[in-house]
A and B are shown apart, each in its own frame.
Chain A
Amino acid sequence: MNKTEYKVFLSYSHKDQEIANSLTKAFDQYKISYQADQQLRAGENWMEEIERALQEASVFVLLLSPDFVSSDWAMFEIGHAISRHKKDKAAIIPVIIRDSIVPDVLRSYLWLDARLMKPESIAQELKKIIKVKVDSVANDSDTKRSDRSMKVFFSYSSLDTTIASSIADALRQKNLDVFPFQNDLRATHEWPFKEEKYLQTCDGILLLWSEHCDTPSWVESERTYKRQQLKTIIVVRLDDTPIPSLLKNYSVIYHSDLSVIVQEILQGFKVEDVNQ
Protein backbone atom coordinates (compact mmCIF):
# COMPACT_ATOMS: atom_id res chain seq x y z
CA MET A 1 0.00 0.00 0.00
CA ASN A 2 1.32 3.40 -0.93
CA LYS A 3 2.05 5.71 2.02
CA THR A 4 0.05 8.52 0.46
CA GLU A 5 -3.16 6.52 -0.01
CA TYR A 6 -4.51 7.16 3.47
CA LYS A 7 -3.94 9.35 6.51
CA VAL A 8 -4.06 8.03 10.04
CA PHE A 9 -5.11 10.24 12.93
CA LEU A 10 -3.63 8.82 16.12
CA SER A 11 -5.70 9.75 19.15
CA TYR A 12 -4.44 9.08 22.69
CA SER A 13 -4.14 10.45 26.19
CA HIS A 14 -1.06 12.50 27.03
CA LYS A 15 -0.53 9.99 29.85
CA ASP A 16 0.15 7.36 27.18
CA GLN A 17 2.75 9.52 25.45
CA GLU A 18 5.52 6.99 25.94
CA ILE A 19 3.55 4.17 24.27
CA ALA A 20 2.44 6.55 21.54
CA ASN A 21 6.04 7.62 20.86
CA SER A 22 7.15 4.00 20.46
CA LEU A 23 4.18 3.36 18.22
CA THR A 24 4.82 6.36 15.95
CA LYS A 25 8.44 5.22 15.53
CA ALA A 26 7.09 1.85 14.41
CA PHE A 27 4.63 3.66 12.10
CA ASP A 28 7.61 5.35 10.42
CA GLN A 29 9.32 1.98 10.08
CA TYR A 30 6.21 0.49 8.43
CA LYS A 31 5.61 3.62 6.32
CA ILE A 32 2.23 4.37 7.92
CA SER A 33 1.35 7.99 7.28
CA TYR A 34 0.01 9.53 10.49
CA GLN A 35 -0.70 12.67 12.46
CA ALA A 36 -0.57 12.29 16.22
CA ASP A 37 -2.94 14.24 18.43
CA GLN A 38 -0.55 15.30 21.17
CA GLN A 39 2.30 16.11 18.77
CA LEU A 40 0.03 18.59 16.96
CA ARG A 41 -0.45 20.48 20.21
CA ALA A 42 3.05 21.89 20.15
CA GLY A 43 2.25 24.69 17.70
CA GLU A 44 0.56 28.01 18.38
CA ASN A 45 -2.52 27.24 16.26
CA TRP A 46 -2.83 23.69 17.53
CA MET A 47 -6.62 23.64 17.57
CA GLU A 48 -6.73 24.49 13.88
CA GLU A 49 -4.02 21.89 13.23
CA ILE A 50 -6.01 19.20 15.04
CA GLU A 51 -9.26 20.15 13.32
CA ARG A 52 -7.55 19.97 9.93
CA ALA A 53 -6.00 16.60 10.78
CA LEU A 54 -9.38 15.28 11.97
CA GLN A 55 -11.01 16.40 8.71
CA GLU A 56 -8.24 14.97 6.54
CA ALA A 57 -7.90 11.59 8.24
CA SER A 58 -9.23 8.51 6.49
CA VAL A 59 -8.30 6.20 9.39
CA PHE A 60 -8.74 6.94 13.11
CA VAL A 61 -6.57 4.88 15.45
CA LEU A 62 -7.74 5.37 19.04
CA LEU A 63 -5.40 4.16 21.81
CA LEU A 64 -7.74 3.01 24.58
CA SER A 65 -6.61 3.28 28.20
CA PRO A 66 -8.43 4.31 31.41
CA ASP A 67 -7.05 7.84 30.99
CA PHE A 68 -8.20 8.05 27.38
CA VAL A 69 -11.75 6.82 27.89
CA SER A 70 -12.31 9.12 30.87
CA SER A 71 -11.24 12.22 28.99
CA ASP A 72 -13.68 14.79 27.54
CA TRP A 73 -11.26 15.53 24.74
CA ALA A 74 -11.14 11.85 23.75
CA MET A 75 -14.95 11.78 23.59
CA PHE A 76 -14.81 14.85 21.36
CA GLU A 77 -12.38 13.09 19.00
CA ILE A 78 -14.40 9.85 19.12
CA GLY A 79 -17.51 11.85 18.14
CA HIS A 80 -15.57 13.45 15.30
CA ALA A 81 -14.32 10.04 14.12
CA ILE A 82 -17.84 8.54 14.19
CA SER A 83 -19.20 11.42 12.16
CA ARG A 84 -16.38 11.04 9.58
CA HIS A 85 -17.05 7.29 9.48
CA LYS A 86 -20.73 7.91 8.74
CA LYS A 87 -20.10 10.71 6.26
CA ASP A 88 -16.91 9.66 4.46
CA LYS A 89 -16.49 5.98 5.45
CA ALA A 90 -13.35 6.83 7.44
CA ALA A 91 -12.15 3.74 9.32
CA ILE A 92 -12.11 3.61 13.12
CA ILE A 93 -9.71 1.19 14.81
CA PRO A 94 -9.81 1.16 18.62
CA VAL A 95 -6.58 -0.31 20.06
CA ILE A 96 -6.55 -1.40 23.70
CA ILE A 97 -3.11 -0.51 25.05
CA ARG A 98 -3.87 -0.74 28.79
CA ASP A 99 -6.65 -2.49 30.73
CA SER A 100 -9.64 -0.44 29.73
CA ILE A 101 -13.28 -0.67 28.90
CA VAL A 102 -14.31 -0.14 25.29
CA PRO A 103 -16.78 2.79 25.29
CA ASP A 104 -20.27 1.70 24.19
CA VAL A 105 -20.14 3.94 21.13
CA LEU A 106 -17.09 2.01 19.88
CA ARG A 107 -18.39 -1.50 20.48
CA SER A 108 -19.53 -1.99 16.90
CA TYR A 109 -16.01 -1.45 15.55
CA LEU A 110 -13.47 -4.28 15.53
CA TRP A 111 -10.84 -3.41 18.08
CA LEU A 112 -7.30 -4.66 18.48
CA ASP A 113 -6.25 -5.94 21.89
CA ALA A 114 -2.62 -4.80 21.99
CA ARG A 115 -2.02 -4.99 25.73
CA LEU A 116 0.62 -7.67 25.32
CA MET A 117 1.95 -6.59 21.93
CA LYS A 118 5.19 -4.76 21.14
CA PRO A 119 4.92 -1.46 19.21
CA GLU A 120 6.40 -3.08 16.07
CA SER A 121 3.78 -5.84 16.18
CA ILE A 122 0.97 -3.32 16.74
CA ALA A 123 2.16 -1.27 13.74
CA GLN A 124 2.48 -4.42 11.62
CA GLU A 125 -1.03 -5.56 12.59
CA LEU A 126 -2.48 -2.08 12.07
CA LYS A 127 -0.93 -1.87 8.63
CA LYS A 128 -2.73 -5.08 7.64
CA ILE A 129 -6.05 -3.91 9.12
CA ILE A 130 -5.73 -0.48 7.47
CA LYS A 131 -5.09 -2.12 4.10
CA VAL A 132 -8.26 -4.19 4.50
CA LYS A 133 -10.23 -1.07 5.47
CA VAL A 134 -8.89 1.11 2.66
CA ASP A 135 -9.46 -1.62 0.04
CA SER A 136 -12.92 -2.20 1.45
CA VAL A 137 -13.87 1.48 1.03
CA ALA A 138 -12.44 1.49 -2.52
CA ASN A 139 -14.51 -1.58 -3.47
CA ASP A 140 -17.61 -0.35 -1.69
CA SER A 141 -18.50 2.38 -4.19
CA ASP A 142 -20.33 -0.03 -6.50
CA THR A 143 -22.16 -1.86 -3.75
CA LYS A 144 -25.93 -1.95 -4.11
CA ARG A 145 -27.88 -1.48 -0.91
CA SER A 146 -31.15 -3.05 0.10
CA ASP A 147 -33.54 -1.57 2.66
CA ARG A 148 -32.82 -4.02 5.41
CA SER A 149 -29.55 -5.81 6.00
CA MET A 150 -29.15 -9.15 7.75
CA LYS A 151 -27.77 -8.76 11.27
CA VAL A 152 -24.88 -11.06 12.11
CA PHE A 153 -23.33 -11.51 15.56
CA PHE A 154 -19.65 -12.19 14.86
CA SER A 155 -17.62 -13.93 17.58
CA TYR A 156 -13.84 -14.35 17.31
CA SER A 157 -10.63 -14.33 19.35
CA SER A 158 -8.84 -11.00 19.77
CA LEU A 159 -5.73 -12.70 18.34
CA ASP A 160 -7.61 -13.22 15.07
CA THR A 161 -8.56 -9.56 14.71
CA THR A 162 -6.88 -9.09 11.32
CA ILE A 163 -8.64 -11.97 9.56
CA ALA A 164 -11.85 -11.12 11.45
CA SER A 165 -11.57 -7.57 10.16
CA SER A 166 -11.17 -8.82 6.57
CA ILE A 167 -14.22 -11.08 6.86
CA ALA A 168 -16.34 -8.42 8.60
CA ASP A 169 -15.49 -5.79 5.99
CA ALA A 170 -16.18 -8.21 3.13
CA LEU A 171 -19.57 -9.08 4.65
CA ARG A 172 -20.40 -5.41 5.18
CA GLN A 173 -19.69 -4.82 1.51
CA LYS A 174 -22.29 -7.50 0.85
CA ASN A 175 -24.74 -5.42 2.89
CA LEU A 176 -24.66 -7.48 6.08
CA ASP A 177 -24.81 -5.65 9.40
CA VAL A 178 -21.94 -7.21 11.38
CA PHE A 179 -21.62 -6.81 15.13
CA PRO A 180 -18.13 -7.87 16.31
CA PHE A 181 -17.56 -9.62 19.63
CA GLN A 182 -14.16 -10.66 20.94
CA ASN A 183 -15.05 -13.80 22.84
CA ASP A 184 -11.83 -13.99 24.86
CA LEU A 185 -12.61 -10.69 26.53
CA ARG A 186 -15.55 -12.25 28.28
CA ALA A 187 -13.71 -12.05 31.60
CA THR A 188 -13.79 -8.26 31.47
CA HIS A 189 -16.91 -7.83 29.35
CA GLU A 190 -19.40 -10.23 30.83
CA TRP A 191 -22.21 -10.25 28.27
CA PRO A 192 -22.76 -6.54 28.48
CA PHE A 193 -26.17 -5.19 27.69
CA LYS A 194 -25.31 -4.11 24.15
CA GLU A 195 -23.87 -7.50 23.15
CA GLU A 196 -26.71 -9.43 24.79
CA LYS A 197 -29.28 -7.27 23.05
CA TYR A 198 -27.65 -7.64 19.65
CA LEU A 199 -27.37 -11.38 20.13
CA GLN A 200 -31.08 -11.58 20.81
CA THR A 201 -32.08 -9.47 17.84
CA CYS A 202 -29.57 -10.75 15.27
CA ASP A 203 -30.56 -13.01 12.36
CA GLY A 204 -27.48 -15.24 12.43
CA ILE A 205 -24.32 -16.05 14.38
CA LEU A 206 -20.85 -16.41 12.89
CA LEU A 207 -17.99 -17.96 14.88
CA LEU A 208 -14.30 -18.02 13.97
CA TRP A 209 -12.51 -21.08 15.32
CA SER A 210 -8.70 -21.23 15.59
CA GLU A 211 -5.85 -22.22 17.86
CA HIS A 212 -6.43 -18.94 19.71
CA CYS A 213 -9.88 -19.94 20.89
CA ASP A 214 -10.16 -21.03 24.44
CA THR A 215 -12.35 -24.15 24.59
CA PRO A 216 -13.86 -23.67 28.08
CA SER A 217 -15.07 -20.15 27.30
CA TRP A 218 -16.47 -21.43 23.99
CA VAL A 219 -18.43 -24.11 25.80
CA GLU A 220 -20.02 -21.40 27.88
CA SER A 221 -20.59 -19.17 24.85
CA GLU A 222 -22.09 -22.07 22.96
CA ARG A 223 -24.74 -22.48 25.65
CA THR A 224 -25.65 -18.86 25.12
CA TYR A 225 -25.70 -19.25 21.34
CA LYS A 226 -27.75 -22.41 21.57
CA ARG A 227 -30.52 -20.48 23.27
CA GLN A 228 -30.90 -18.58 19.99
CA GLN A 229 -32.42 -21.73 18.55
CA LEU A 230 -34.01 -20.41 15.42
CA LYS A 231 -30.87 -18.66 14.22
CA THR A 232 -28.39 -20.00 11.73
CA ILE A 233 -24.97 -20.57 13.29
CA ILE A 234 -21.92 -20.84 11.03
CA VAL A 235 -18.40 -21.76 12.15
CA VAL A 236 -15.35 -20.72 10.11
CA ARG A 237 -12.23 -22.78 10.85
CA LEU A 238 -9.04 -20.78 10.42
CA ASP A 239 -6.55 -23.61 11.02
CA ASP A 240 -6.26 -27.32 11.81
CA THR A 241 -7.23 -26.96 15.46
CA PRO A 242 -9.86 -29.65 16.04
CA ILE A 243 -13.37 -28.33 16.49
CA PRO A 244 -15.02 -29.16 19.83
CA SER A 245 -17.74 -31.76 19.34
CA LEU A 246 -20.47 -29.34 20.35
CA LEU A 247 -19.67 -27.08 17.38
CA LYS A 248 -19.83 -29.93 14.87
CA ASN A 249 -23.61 -29.68 14.64
CA TYR A 250 -23.31 -26.35 12.88
CA SER A 251 -22.29 -25.53 9.30
CA VAL A 252 -18.49 -25.48 9.21
CA ILE A 253 -16.52 -23.59 6.57
CA TYR A 254 -12.86 -24.46 6.12
CA HIS A 255 -11.05 -22.65 3.32
CA SER A 256 -8.01 -20.42 2.91
CA ASP A 257 -9.47 -18.12 0.25
CA LEU A 258 -11.31 -15.14 1.75
CA SER A 259 -13.67 -14.73 -1.21
CA VAL A 260 -14.69 -18.40 -0.96
CA ILE A 261 -15.23 -18.08 2.80
CA VAL A 262 -17.43 -15.02 2.24
CA GLN A 263 -19.44 -16.74 -0.51
CA GLU A 264 -20.00 -19.78 1.69
CA ILE A 265 -21.07 -17.58 4.61
CA LEU A 266 -23.58 -15.82 2.34
CA GLN A 267 -24.89 -19.17 1.13
CA GLY A 268 -25.06 -20.44 4.71
CA PHE A 269 -27.10 -17.42 5.76
CA LYS A 270 -29.12 -17.65 2.52
CA VAL A 271 -28.21 -14.08 1.59
CA GLU A 272 -28.19 -12.98 -2.02
CA ASP A 273 -24.86 -11.49 -3.11
CA VAL A 274 -25.80 -7.85 -3.77
CA ASN A 275 -22.78 -7.33 -6.04
CA GLN A 276 -23.65 -10.04 -8.53
Chain B
Amino acid sequence: MPSNFQKVASYGTVTFLSVNLGSKPLVFISHASTDLWVAKQLEAHIRSCGADTFLDCERVEHGDDFEEKIIEAAEEATELLVLFTPTANNRKYVWMEIGMFLGARKRIVAALYGVTKEQIAEDQFTPIVLKKIDSVELNEIGSYLNQLKKRVETWKQYNE
Protein backbone atom coordinates (compact mmCIF):
# COMPACT_ATOMS: atom_id res chain seq x y z
CA MET B 1 0.00 0.00 0.00
CA PRO B 2 1.46 3.44 -0.88
CA SER B 3 2.65 5.41 2.15
CA ASN B 4 0.12 8.20 1.61
CA PHE B 5 -2.79 5.74 1.98
CA GLN B 6 -4.19 4.85 5.38
CA LYS B 7 -6.60 2.08 6.36
CA VAL B 8 -9.67 3.63 7.96
CA ALA B 9 -11.97 0.61 8.47
CA SER B 10 -12.75 -2.87 7.16
CA TYR B 11 -16.17 -4.48 6.71
CA GLY B 12 -15.83 -8.08 5.62
CA THR B 13 -13.78 -8.08 2.46
CA VAL B 14 -14.22 -4.33 1.94
CA THR B 15 -11.47 -2.02 3.21
CA PHE B 16 -11.83 1.73 3.38
CA LEU B 17 -8.73 3.78 2.75
CA SER B 18 -8.07 7.48 3.19
CA VAL B 19 -5.33 9.19 1.29
CA ASN B 20 -3.21 11.98 2.73
CA LEU B 21 -2.76 14.55 0.01
CA GLY B 22 -0.53 16.81 2.04
CA SER B 23 -1.03 20.48 2.59
CA LYS B 24 -3.62 22.81 1.18
CA PRO B 25 -2.21 24.46 -1.97
CA LEU B 26 -0.23 27.55 -0.95
CA VAL B 27 1.11 29.48 -3.92
CA PHE B 28 4.25 31.57 -3.44
CA ILE B 29 4.10 34.41 -5.96
CA SER B 30 7.56 35.54 -7.03
CA HIS B 31 7.76 38.90 -8.73
CA ALA B 32 9.84 42.03 -9.21
CA SER B 33 8.75 44.97 -7.06
CA THR B 34 7.91 46.95 -10.20
CA ASP B 35 5.36 44.28 -11.14
CA LEU B 36 3.50 44.43 -7.83
CA TRP B 37 0.17 45.56 -9.27
CA VAL B 38 0.03 42.64 -11.70
CA ALA B 39 1.18 40.26 -8.93
CA LYS B 40 -1.72 41.43 -6.74
CA GLN B 41 -4.21 40.75 -9.54
CA LEU B 42 -2.81 37.25 -9.87
CA GLU B 43 -3.06 36.79 -6.12
CA ALA B 44 -6.76 37.71 -6.16
CA HIS B 45 -7.43 35.14 -8.89
CA ILE B 46 -5.48 32.45 -7.06
CA ARG B 47 -7.38 33.13 -3.84
CA SER B 48 -10.67 32.90 -5.71
CA CYS B 49 -9.62 29.36 -6.63
CA GLY B 50 -9.52 28.59 -2.89
CA ALA B 51 -5.73 28.40 -2.58
CA ASP B 52 -3.64 30.31 -0.05
CA THR B 53 -0.98 32.72 -1.26
CA PHE B 54 2.27 34.33 -0.19
CA LEU B 55 3.09 37.73 -1.64
CA ASP B 56 6.14 39.20 0.07
CA CYS B 57 4.92 42.80 0.31
CA GLU B 58 1.80 41.69 2.19
CA ARG B 59 3.31 39.12 4.52
CA VAL B 60 6.64 40.75 5.39
CA GLU B 61 6.15 43.58 7.86
CA HIS B 62 8.48 46.49 8.59
CA GLY B 63 11.24 45.30 10.89
CA ASP B 64 10.85 41.62 9.92
CA ASP B 65 13.89 39.74 8.78
CA PHE B 66 13.04 39.82 5.06
CA GLU B 67 15.26 36.93 3.92
CA GLU B 68 14.20 34.70 6.79
CA LYS B 69 10.50 35.35 6.04
CA ILE B 70 11.05 34.53 2.37
CA ILE B 71 12.87 31.31 3.21
CA GLU B 72 10.19 30.28 5.74
CA ALA B 73 7.44 31.03 3.24
CA ALA B 74 9.19 29.03 0.52
CA GLU B 75 9.39 26.08 2.90
CA GLU B 76 5.69 26.27 3.68
CA ALA B 77 4.47 26.90 0.14
CA THR B 78 3.42 23.99 -2.02
CA GLU B 79 4.15 25.64 -5.36
CA LEU B 80 5.77 28.65 -6.98
CA LEU B 81 4.22 30.95 -9.53
CA VAL B 82 6.87 33.21 -11.06
CA LEU B 83 5.57 36.37 -12.69
CA PHE B 84 8.23 36.51 -15.37
CA THR B 85 8.66 39.90 -16.99
CA PRO B 86 11.67 41.69 -18.51
CA THR B 87 12.22 43.26 -15.04
CA ALA B 88 11.92 39.99 -13.12
CA ASN B 89 14.65 38.45 -15.25
CA ASN B 90 17.11 40.83 -13.61
CA ARG B 91 15.83 40.45 -10.09
CA LYS B 92 18.10 38.24 -8.02
CA TYR B 93 15.52 37.15 -5.48
CA VAL B 94 13.39 35.70 -8.26
CA TRP B 95 16.31 33.43 -9.17
CA MET B 96 16.92 32.51 -5.57
CA GLU B 97 13.26 31.60 -5.16
CA ILE B 98 13.31 29.47 -8.31
CA GLY B 99 16.42 27.72 -6.91
CA MET B 100 14.71 27.08 -3.57
CA PHE B 101 11.63 25.50 -5.16
CA LEU B 102 13.67 23.41 -7.60
CA GLY B 103 15.83 22.25 -4.68
CA ALA B 104 12.69 21.24 -2.78
CA ARG B 105 11.31 19.57 -5.94
CA LYS B 106 8.09 21.55 -5.78
CA ARG B 107 5.88 22.63 -8.67
CA ILE B 108 7.08 25.76 -10.51
CA VAL B 109 5.08 27.60 -13.15
CA ALA B 110 6.16 30.80 -14.89
CA ALA B 111 3.51 33.34 -15.94
CA LEU B 112 5.02 35.27 -18.83
CA TYR B 113 4.17 38.96 -19.21
CA GLY B 114 5.99 41.13 -21.72
CA VAL B 115 8.07 38.17 -22.87
CA THR B 116 7.11 35.14 -24.92
CA LYS B 117 8.22 31.52 -24.74
CA GLU B 118 9.96 32.02 -28.08
CA GLN B 119 11.91 35.04 -26.79
CA ILE B 120 13.00 33.11 -23.73
CA ALA B 121 14.08 30.16 -25.86
CA GLU B 122 16.16 32.45 -28.09
CA ASP B 123 17.64 34.70 -25.40
CA GLN B 124 21.10 33.34 -24.64
CA PHE B 125 21.30 35.39 -21.43
CA THR B 126 18.22 33.82 -19.88
CA PRO B 127 19.42 30.97 -17.67
CA ILE B 128 18.50 27.69 -19.26
CA VAL B 129 16.64 26.63 -16.15
CA LEU B 130 13.79 28.96 -17.02
CA LYS B 131 13.52 27.39 -20.45
CA LYS B 132 12.77 24.11 -18.71
CA ILE B 133 10.12 25.45 -16.33
CA ASP B 134 6.50 24.99 -17.30
CA SER B 135 5.39 28.40 -18.54
CA VAL B 136 2.15 30.01 -19.60
CA GLU B 137 1.56 33.44 -21.10
CA LEU B 138 -0.38 35.70 -18.73
CA ASN B 139 -3.30 35.99 -21.18
CA GLU B 140 -3.73 32.24 -20.86
CA ILE B 141 -3.30 32.02 -17.09
CA GLY B 142 -6.84 30.60 -16.92
CA SER B 143 -5.52 27.12 -17.74
CA TYR B 144 -3.18 27.25 -14.73
CA LEU B 145 -5.98 28.59 -12.51
CA ASN B 146 -8.34 25.79 -13.61
CA GLN B 147 -5.73 23.19 -12.71
CA LEU B 148 -5.08 24.91 -9.39
CA LYS B 149 -8.80 24.93 -8.62
CA LYS B 150 -8.92 21.18 -9.24
CA ARG B 151 -5.97 20.65 -6.88
CA VAL B 152 -7.75 22.68 -4.19
CA GLU B 153 -11.00 20.74 -4.70
CA THR B 154 -9.21 17.41 -4.50
CA TRP B 155 -7.47 18.53 -1.32
CA LYS B 156 -10.81 19.66 0.20
CA GLN B 157 -12.45 16.37 -0.72
CA TYR B 158 -10.03 14.44 1.49
CA ASN B 159 -9.24 16.99 4.17
CA GLU B 160 -12.45 18.82 5.02
With contact pairs A47-B128, A87-B103 given, residues A82 and B98 touching in the complex (Cβ less than 8 Å): no
Task: Tell me the A63-107 residues at the B interface (CB within 8 Å).
Answer: 72-73, 75-84, 86-87, 104-105
CB closest residue in chain A, given B66: A104
Residue A54 at the chain B interface, CB threshold 8 Å: yes
Residue B142 at the chain A interface, CB threshold 8 Å: no
B103 touches A75 (CB 8 A): no
With contact pairs A83-B100, A87-B104, A105-B96 given, residues A72 and B71 touching in the complex (Cβ less than 8 Å): no
B92 touches A75 (CB 8 A): yes
Residue A194 at the chain B interface, CB threshold 8 Å: yes
Interface size in chain A (residues, C-beta < 8 A): 22
B93 touches A54 (CB 8 A): no
A-B contact count (CB 8 A): 72
Chain B proximity of A117: nearest CB distance (Å): 27
Residue B23 at the chain A interface, CB threshold 8 Å: no
Contact with B along A179-206 (1 / 0, CB 8 A): 0000000000000001001000000000
Tell me which of A55, A82, A194 contacts B71 (CB under 8 A): A82
With contact pairs A47-B128, A72-B95 given, residues A79 and B100 touching in the complex (Cβ less than 8 Å): yes
Contact with B along A102-114 (1 / 0, CB 8 A): 0011000000000
CB closest residue in chain A, given B106: A83
Chain B proximity of A212: nearest CB distance (Å): 29
A82 touches B65 (CB 8 A): no
Task: Tell me the B121-152 residues at the A interface (CB within 8 Å).
Answer: 127-129, 132
CB closest residue in chain A, given B104: A83
Question: Which residue numbers of B lie inside 8 Å of A, CB to CB?
Answer: 63, 65-67, 71, 74-75, 89-90, 92-93, 95-104, 127-129, 132
Question: Which residue numbers of A lie inside 8 Å of B, CB to CB?
Answer: 47, 51, 54-55, 72-73, 75-84, 86-87, 104-105, 194, 197
